Chains A and B, each alone.
Chain A
Amino acid sequence: EAQVTQNPRYLITVTGKKLTVTCSQNMNHEYMSWYRQDPGLGLRQIYYSMNVEVTDKGDVPEGYKVSRKEKRNFPLILESPSPNQTSLYFCASSSRDSVSYEQYFGPGTRLTVT
């Protein structure tokens, strides 16, 4: 089954404690991205990757890092989480060859930083 998976689904942590949220897709997609969803703001892109070893900032990259060492994985790293990073995070992927660039979303990771 074609899917995007994220782990963990729920995470409560404390300020300053480094964490990683994993994202994996099994569709051989070149393009992957991370969004955060906040009430009243919709989804905002954090980082994206056009292919292995190619990453770039989205609209709200501050406080986040990413890496793309393998095509299927695109982890999101919070080196020193702060309470304003409490949010719902979605990973998405799409094929570079897709005419309409339809993105497939993961199930989301709800992060709480205290």
Chain B
Amino acid sequence: AQSVSQHNHHVILSEAASLELGCNYSYGGTVNLFWYVQYPGQHLQLLLKYFSGDPLVKGIKGFEAEFIKSKFSFNLRKPSVQWSDTAEYFCAVKDTGRRALTFGSGTRLQVQP
């Protein structure tokens, strides 16, 4: 079965620091990859997605992610975080055999002003 690992469970950064959140998945075939964000008290929103093509994808609010097939990774990055980025971030993978998304356990990001 597909599995998704997010190794950083809780990250604390100061404003303007750079961010990188790790995501690794287990499936070796064709995948669609997603990063979702959940702001406090709100529902999940899509940050960015990779389907095919350029492995460096750009999303909303200055976030980007790089798909590295050889490493089964899809790490999320942002060069300079803001206090408003405080949220929980989920990596999700969809393989071609399933409609469902498989989510990682999430990374809680806390940005200190």
Contact = CB atoms under 8 A, between A and B. Distances in A.
A90 B44 contact: yes
Interface residues of A, number: 23
Contacts of A50: 99
Contact of A33 (B43, B44, B100): B100
A33 to B, nearest CB: 7
Interface stretch (A18-26, A76-84, A105-113): A105-113
B79 to A, nearest CB: 25
B9 A40 contact: yes
Given A40-B9, A45-B100, A101-B32, A106 B43 contact: yes
Contacts, number: 48
A31 interface: yes
Contacts of B46: 102
A105 B99 contact: no
Nearest to B51: A100
B90 A42 contact: yes
A86 interface: no
Contacts of A41: 105
Contacts of A102: 34, 46, 49
Given A43-B90, A100-B49, A101-B32, A48 B100 contact: yes
B112 to A, nearest CB: 22
Interface of A: 31, 33, 35, 40-45, 48, 50, 58-59, 90, 99-103, 105-108
12 contacts: A31-B99, A40-B9, A41-B105, A42-B90, A42-B103, A42-B106, A43-B101, A59-B100, A90-B43, A100-B51, A105-B36, A105-B45
